[in-house]
Amino acid sequence: MMTATAAACRRLVGRAAVVTGAGAGIGAAIARRLAEEGARVAVVDRCAASAAHTVDAIQKAKGEAVAITADMRDESSVIDAVKSSQASLNGLDIVVNNAAQFHFGSLEDTTLEDWRRLLETNVIGYANMIKHALPALRASQHAAVVNIASVSSFVAQPQMFVYNASKGGVLQLTRCLAMDLAPDTIRVNAVCPGSILTPAAYNHMDNLGLDHEEGTKEFASAALMNRSGQPEEVASVAAFLASDDASFMTGAHIVVDGGATLD
């Protein structure tokens, strides 16, 4: 269902957006929000069924979307996803990099493949999406890139060093590409979510040995607002950064964590 806020905004009418990792969680919420605001959306995910589910939700809300299956670790797959997005949407104005891999464990138990899996998805995959979308973004009058980073980009967390290193890389990628792409009037910004109730959050609870009720309470207690966030609360910030309302913002990151990292 279209939210009142999104219906009132409609800031993205006539624009084409691609969102990776959009089959569930934050990515799905972002895809829905962009569509609610009038964008044509390419929903990209490794899982074809998940991408189709998000597209179905968008279409039921009278939005326009297409499902594309791609693996961010595979550059040829990324190239195909960008080409398919452009062809299906008749252009490309917005890139939202959200696809992510996770790893929890000790240094001794972490393998080279674990490092590769996260860095190739969370950092290199983001760079490749932007790289291959550049011709379309340069042709756009409203080009915007939104990278989904994390509070894990700048805080230390136990047994999450691979993930946190990758998300730190996302912030630096955002800053550096904002500088490099400014002459092309392509804005590059990031969102840093904290504890958001998604399948990934429940997986984190499982890795900590917490049942979901206990884990939800523990995660909520870390925030000044004494709750975890919802994917839609991240999506609203991503939509803002993708819109002309953020036209004088680039190289920035917005923290969406209920005040958990205020100190």
Helix, coil or strand: residue 107: coil
Please check whether residue 124 lies inside any domain of the structure: yes
Q: What is the pLDDT of residues 161-194, one digit of tens each?
A: 999 999 999 999 999 999 999 999 999 999 999 9
- Does 34 share its domain with 108? yes
Distance CA 263, CA 257 (A): 12
Res 103: pLDDT: 94
Could you tell me the residue range of the domain that residue 210 belongs to?
195-228
260 in any annotated domain: no
| Domain total in the chain | 2
How large is the average pLDDT for residues 61-73?
Answer: 98
Establish whether 163 is a catalytic residue. yes
pLDDT band at 202 (very low <50, low <70, confident <90, very high): confident
Count of alpha carbons within 13 angstroms of residue 1, beta-carbon side: 2
pLDDT per residue over 12-56, tens digit each?
999 999 999 999 999 999 999 999 999 999 999 999 999 999 999
Find the catalytic residue in 104, 126, 163, 219: 163
Check whether residue 109 and residue 140 sit in a common domain. yes
Q: Are residues 111 and 39 in the same domain?
A: yes
Place of tokens 């452009």: 86
Is the confidence at residue 130, as pLDDT, over 60? yes
Whose tokens are 């696809």? That residue is: 99
Judge if 201 and 188 occupy the same domain.
no
**53 and 169 part of one domain:** yes
Cβ burial, residue 174 (10 Å; 0-12/13-18/19+)? buried
Distance CA 55, CA 41 (A): 9
Query: Could you tell me the pLDDT band of residue 204, with boundaries at 50, 70 and 90?
Result: confident
Amino acid 198: pLDDT = 86
**DSSP for 7-62?**
HHH-TTTT-EEEEESTTSHHHHHHHHHHHHTT-EEEEEES-HHHHHHHHHHHHHTT
Q: What is the pLDDT of residue 31?
A: 99
Over residues 111-138, mean pLDDT: 98
- How many residues appear in the chain? 263
Q: What is the structure's pLDDT at 219?
A: 85
Looking at residue 210, what is its pLDDT?
A: 85
- The full DSSP string for 188-232 is EEEEEE-SB-SHHHHHHHHHTT--HHHHHHHHHHTSTTSS-B-HH
State the pLDDT at residue 3: 53
Q: What is the mean pLDDT of the chain?
A: 95
Please write the tens of the pLDDT for every residue from 210-262: 888 888 888 889 999 999 999 999 999 999 999 999 999 999 999 999 999 99
The pLDDT value given to residue 205: 83
The more confidently predicted of residues 144 and 6 is: 144
| Domain identity same for 108 and 222 | no
The answer to whether the predicted template modeling score (pTM) of the entire model surpasses 0.75 is: yes
So what's the pLDDT on residue 1?
45
**Using CA atoms, how far apart are residues 53 and 60, in angstroms rounded to an integer?**
11
CB 21 within 8 A of CB 96: no
Rounded to whole angstroms, how far apart are CA atoms 116 and 78?
17
Same domain? For 173 and 99 the reply is: yes
Inside any domain, residue 261: no
Residue for token digits 């915007």?
Answer: 144
Evaluate whether 86 touches 80 at the Cβ level (below 8 Å): no
Q: Please indicate, yes or no, whether residues 61 and 162 belong to a single structural domain of this protein.
A: yes
Q: Which two tokens stand for residue 146?
A: 């939104």
> Same structural domain for residues 145 and 188?
yes
Q: In the structure, what pLDDT confidence band is assigned to residue 154 with cuts at 50, 70 and 90?
A: very high
